[in-house]
């Protein structure tokens, strides 16, 4: 009996200690180490997500742990274009699409645009038409390809095939749209937005933009309070002060609910992810080098079960896009369905072959690793939110849409209703800074006047328009400058650059694309190979996939094995 009583006493004591320990731990987590004040107090004050563990993997993505590698290390340079200089780079951890963006994925984008901005309305027609892929890329003067022209984008038989005919600009707009739709859904799941508002309440005057929600949440969905006040599930987070004023009504970045944006991967990220060097890593070294996303020096598998099979979709030789009927070398003649071949060590499919892929970078033959070897990227154009006179952000309305006419004559919308108008940064952001000094940094240390070794400030003079000009600075890039304008009736006037002394096709509007395609020989399957193409043009062999930055820890696993 005494033993039973003693056991009960010990049990109660243990539970008391455990309970006290839990309370102390919980209390410690929610009290500031800076001031000792309570965090997330129901009476108000500082609100912060102290339970956040790590970034949730967004739809379609896989995690790529960052690291150091040698960029631009090619096995062969038969083209002799000298645009691959090996440089050591470090890449931060990020996420990348498991597969290339497919026709079905892009069709969902087109369907949304068609519902929200009906092309039957004159004021919105250019929005939908500007997002449409160019299906005429399949045509060939001496080829019968009309079946692809008419069916490749929309027919369900090609639904899981990578989308093509998409320009770099269209790929960027898709990524922006995808960011807003994913964050809209995240906020709906958390109760901050009305359930199914993304379908039932959306129209041209009532849309969701991530940037607008962060900066001015009451202006999303056209200010529709029924939508932006949620469905009541978020009321548990609302704080009320002594005067009855509510706070914490809307989600902020501090909640951890709003994810970073989808975007195109940088060239450095893409090459690092394609190589998948983890399979040849030995402690802190790589055992040799890789020519393809898979290990080995050959395009055929040496595994017993699939020995001899091609590991990617590419052109085998002249007139050989797939192989002999009845037993195909790679199972495809044009593109192939995604996931038709084994993934690399990061779990990424088709990082060689199928379609080449747009990346974010503006093309330059030289990688300036002397200036930066961390998250290298050329193409930064810094902007900021436009403000009204009263300090509030300027949100684009249906009457404020700006359309751009591209050099190929295609019209695209620069902004959409519900988004915040963007303007270049000015001296308020650049004054006395050492890390950037202007809005457009594309030409930094490469091709612009001040980067030229011939630059002398006294050669500058002002033209009649007051713009600074220089008399005899030698330009590194001298590409044709075609012009497209419209007359008073809206007819396109094309003016081709007929100057005979142009020296290059490179300018600030050409972007890098990586990886071989169904139309390329195996030489281009090497992830280090790089080519460029105008950002406003499209082909039948370039597609894309999206990426997303990682916030927080470099690794997902806290306790990693050393080897």
pLDDT digits (tens, 9 = 90+) for 534-561: 999 999 999 999 999 999 999 886 655 5
Model confidence pLDDT, tens digit, residues 494-514: 888 888 877 788 888 999 999
Task: Residue 168: count other Cβ atoms within 10 Å of its Cβ.
Answer: 24
Determine the Cα–Cα distance for residues 417 and 127; give it in Å rounded to an integer: 11
Among 327, 357, 329, smallest CA distance to 341 is for 329
In whole angstroms, what separates CA 508 from the centre of its chain? 19
**Average confidence (pLDDT) over 103-126:** 95
Determine the Cα–Cα distance for residues 363 and 361; give it in Å rounded to an integer: 6
Determine the Cα–Cα distance for residues 529 and 534; give it in Å rounded to an integer: 18
Determine the Cα–Cα distance for residues 301 and 330; give it in Å rounded to an integer: 11
Q: Any bridge partners for residue 88, and if so which?
A: 70
Which band of pLDDT confidence, cut at 50, 70 and 90, is reported for residue 141?
very high
Report the pLDDT value the prediction gives residue 461, as an integer from 0 to 100. Answer: 43
State the burial class of residue 110 (Cβ atoms within 10 Å of its Cβ: 0-12, 13-18, 19+): middle
300 in helix, strand or coil? strand
Among 207, 174, 172, smallest CA distance to 193 is for 207
485 in helix, strand or coil? strand
Q: In this prediction, what percent of the chain has a pLDDT beyond 90?
A: 55
Determine the Cα–Cα distance for residues 159 and 280; give it in Å rounded to an integer: 35
E strand map for 184-295: 239-240, 246-247, 262-263, 281-282, 285-286
Look at residue 234 and tell me whether its pLDDT is greater than 70.
no
Report the pLDDT value the prediction gives residue 173, as an integer from 0 to 100. Answer: 97
Give the pair of three-digit tokens for residue 193: 């937005």
In whole angstroms, what separates CA 44 from the centre of its chain? 37
Model confidence pLDDT, tens digit, residues 276-313: 876 656 566 555 567 788 877 778 777 777 776 777 88
Among 479, 476, 473, 475, smallest CA distance to 497 is for 479
Which band of pLDDT confidence, cut at 50, 70 and 90, is reported for residue 467?
very low
Q: Any bridge partners for residue 381, and if so which?
A: 440
Query: Whats the size of the chain, residue-wise?
Result: 563
Domain edges within the chain = 452-476
Determine the Cα–Cα distance for residues 528 and 84; give it in Å rounded to an integer: 7
Question: What is the torsion angle, in degrees rounded to the nearest 10, for the CA atoms of residue 293, residue 299, residue 303 and residue 305?
Answer: 110
Look at residue 19 and tell me whether its pLDDT is greater than 60.
no
Give the pair of three-digit tokens for residue 28: 């410690």
Which band of pLDDT confidence, cut at 50, 70 and 90, is reported for residue 74?
confident
Model confidence pLDDT, tens digit, residues 350-378: 999 999 999 999 999 888 888 899 999 99
Evaluate whether 347 touches 278 at the Cβ level (below 8 Å). no
Look at residue 392 and tell me whether its pLDDT is greater than 60.
yes
Determine the Cα–Cα distance for residues 468 and 478; give it in Å rounded to an integer: 19
State the burial class of residue 503 (Cβ atoms within 10 Å of its Cβ: 0-12, 13-18, 19+): exposed
Report the pLDDT value the prediction gives residue 3, as an integer from 0 to 100. Answer: 60
259 in helix, strand or coil? coil
Determine the Cα–Cα distance for residues 180 and 112; give it in Å rounded to an integer: 12
Determine the Cα–Cα distance for residues 461 and 471; give it in Å rounded to an integer: 7
Q: What is the DSSP letter of 8?
A: H
**Average confidence (pLDDT) over 253-278:** 93
Phi, psi of 90 (to 5 degrees): -115, 135
Among 310, 321, 313, 316, smallest CA distance to 140 is for 321
State which H helix or E strand residue 323 sits in. strand 323-324
Task: Residue 314: count other Cβ atoms within 10 Å of its Cβ.
Answer: 25
Among 61, 69, 108, 105, smallest CA distance to 86 is for 69
Look at residue 474 and tell me whether its pLDDT is greater than 70.
no
State which H helix or E strand residue 104 sits in. helix 103-116
Give 133-163 as a DSSP string.
--GGGG-BTTB--HHHHHHTTT-GGGTTSBP
| Chain position carrying tokens 């969701």 | 208
């Amino acid at each position: 009996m005494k033993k039973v009583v003693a056991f009960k006493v010990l049990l109660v004591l243990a539970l008391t200690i455990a309970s006290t320990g839990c309370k102390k731990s919980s209390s410690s987590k929610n009290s500031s180490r800076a001031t000792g004040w309570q965090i997330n107090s129901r009476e108000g004050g500082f609100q912060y997500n102290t339970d956040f563990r790590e970034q949730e993997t967004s739809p379609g993505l896989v995690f790529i742990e960052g690291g150091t590698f040698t960029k631009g290390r090619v096995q062969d340079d038969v083209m002799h274009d000298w645009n691959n200089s090996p440089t050591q780079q470090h890449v931060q951890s990020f996420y990348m699409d498991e597969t290339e963006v497919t026709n079905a994925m892009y069709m969902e984008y087109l369907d949304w645009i068609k519902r929200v901005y009906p092309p039957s309305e004159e004021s919105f027609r250019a929005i939908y038409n500007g997002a449409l892929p160019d299906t005429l890329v399949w045509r060939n003067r001496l080829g019968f390809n009309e079946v692809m022209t008419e069916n490749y984008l929309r027919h369900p038989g090609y639904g899981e095939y990578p989308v093509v005919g998409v320009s770099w600009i269209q790929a960027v707009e898709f990524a922006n749209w995808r960011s807003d739709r994913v964050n809209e859904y995240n906020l709906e799941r958390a109760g901050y937005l009305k359930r199914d508002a993304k379908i039932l309440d959306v129209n041209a005057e009532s849309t969701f933009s991530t940037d607008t929600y962060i900066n001015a949440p009451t202006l999303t969905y056209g200010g529709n309070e029924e939508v932006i006040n949620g469905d009541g599930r978020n009321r548990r987070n609302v704080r009320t002060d002594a005067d009855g004023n509510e706070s914490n009504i809307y989600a902020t970045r501090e909640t951890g609910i709003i994810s970073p944006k989808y975007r195109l991967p940088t060239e450095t990220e893409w090459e690092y992810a394609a190589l998948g060097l983890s399979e040849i890593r030995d402690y802190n070294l790589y055992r040799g080098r890789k020519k393809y996303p898979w290990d080995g020096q050959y395009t055929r598998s040496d595994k017993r079960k699939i020995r001899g099979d091609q590991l990617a979709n590419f052109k085998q030789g002249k007139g050989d896009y797939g192989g002999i009927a009845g037993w195909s070398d790679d199972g495809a003649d044009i593109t192939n369905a995604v996931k038709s071949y084994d993934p690399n060590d990061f779990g990424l499919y088709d990082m060689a072959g199928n379609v080449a892929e747009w990346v974010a970078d503006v093309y330059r033959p030289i990688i300036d690793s002397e200036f930066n070897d961390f998250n290298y990227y050329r193409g930064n154009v810094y902007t900021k939110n436009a403000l009204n006179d009263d300090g509030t952000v300027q949100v684009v309305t249906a009457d404020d849409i700006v359309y751009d006419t591209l050099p190929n004559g295609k019209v695209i919308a620069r902004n959409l209703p519900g988004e915040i108008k963007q303007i270049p940064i000015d001296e308020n952001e650049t004054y006395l800074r050492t890390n950037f000094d202007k809005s457009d940094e594309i030409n930094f240390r490469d091709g612009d006047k001040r980067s030229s070794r011939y630059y002398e400030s006294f050669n500058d003079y002002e033209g009649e328009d007051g713009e600074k000009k220089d008399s005899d600075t030698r330009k590194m890039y001298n590409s044709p400058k075609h012009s497209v304008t419209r007359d008073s009736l809206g007819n396109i006037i094309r003016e081709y650059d007929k100057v005979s002394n142009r020296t290059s096709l490179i300018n600030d509007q050409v972007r890098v694309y990586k990886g071989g395609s169904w139309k390329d020989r195996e030489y281009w399957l090497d992830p280090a190979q790089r080519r460029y193409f105008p950002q406003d043009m499209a082909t039948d062999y370039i597609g894309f996939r999206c990426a997303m930055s990682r916030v927080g820890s470099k690794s997902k696993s806290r306790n990693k094995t050393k080897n």
